[in-house]
């Protein structure tokens, strides 16, 4: 935990535009992967039920290539977010946490895709359900020396 990157509220707010773009890539990629996997599962199921089907191999190969690309794009975007030091908590709703030092303890500034700015925080133990509005102590927080 000593090597964990931490952010002030201002630093986290400044990163939102780039993180929003990266998170959108992750969320879109996750949806594409889920759809493609469902298509492959349905095809496999139909083949098993019917004892075989005539399969459009080139179309399925293209679909597989799309799936592989979506997986790699999502991994790349997740890697960029991780390299920044921000935690991805939920790709379905687009939830990010920014570790922040508050009175010698780590708290998490919490932002959800679609929100204009970071307005909530919670302790690591509380999670999303424990979100509280940013207060003056957090807003004026500084980097520890």
Instruction: Look at the chain and report how many structural domains it folds into.
Output: 1
> pLDDT tens-digit profile of 72-121?
999 999 999 999 999 999 999 999 999 999 888 899 999 999 999 999 99
Q: Is residue 136 part of a domain?
A: no
Q: Is residue 28 part of a domain?
A: yes
Q: Is residue 74 part of a domain?
A: yes
Q: Is residue 2 part of a domain?
A: no
Query: What pLDDT, on the 0 to 100 scale, is given for residue 47?
Result: 74
Pairing of strands 87-90, 105-112: unpaired
Query: What pLDDT, on the 0 to 100 scale, is given for residue 23?
Result: 97
Distance from C-alpha of 62 to C-alpha of 67, rounded to nearest angstrom: 9
Cα distance from N-terminal residue to C-terminal residue, the chain: 16
Q: Is residue 4 part of a domain?
A: no
Cα-Cα-Cα-Cα dihedral sign, residues 22, 26, 31, 35: positive
Q: Quote the DSSP letter at residue 104.
A: T
For residue 41, the enclosing domain spans 16-84
Q: Quote the DSSP letter at residue 13.
A: H
Largest interatomic CA distance in the chain: 68
Q: Name the one residue in this structure whose structure tokens are 């709703």.
A: 93
Q: Confidence class of residue 1 from pLDDT cuts 50, 70 and 90? A: very low
Q: Is residue 109 part of a domain?
A: no
Q: How far is CA 13 from CA 3, 74, 86, 132, in A?
A: 21, 23, 12, 17
Q: Considering the entire predicted model, what is its pTM?
A: 0.83
What strand order describes the sheet that includes 95-102? Answer: 87-90, 95-102, 105-112, 120-122, 132-133
Q: Where are the alpha helices (DSSP H) in 51-135?
A: 57-84
């Amino acid at each position: 935990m000593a090597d964990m990157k931490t952010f002030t509220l201002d630093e986290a707010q400044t990163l939102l535009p780039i993180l929003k773009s990266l998170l959108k890539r992750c969320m879109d990629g996750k949806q594409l992967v889920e759809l493609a996997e469902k298509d492959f599962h349905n095809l496999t199921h139909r083949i098993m039920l019917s004892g075989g089907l005539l399969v459009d191999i080139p179309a399925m190969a293209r679909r597989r290539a799309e799936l592989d690309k979506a997986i790699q794009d999502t991994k790349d975007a997740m890697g960029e977010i991780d390299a920044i030091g921000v935690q991805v908590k939920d790709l379905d709703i687009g939830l990010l946490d920014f570790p922040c030092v508050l009175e010698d303890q780590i708290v998490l500034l919490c932002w959800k895709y679609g929100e204009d700015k970071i307005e909530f925080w919670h302790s690591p133990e509380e999670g999303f359900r424990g979100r509280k509005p940013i207060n003056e102590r957090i807003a004026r927080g500084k980097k520890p020396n």
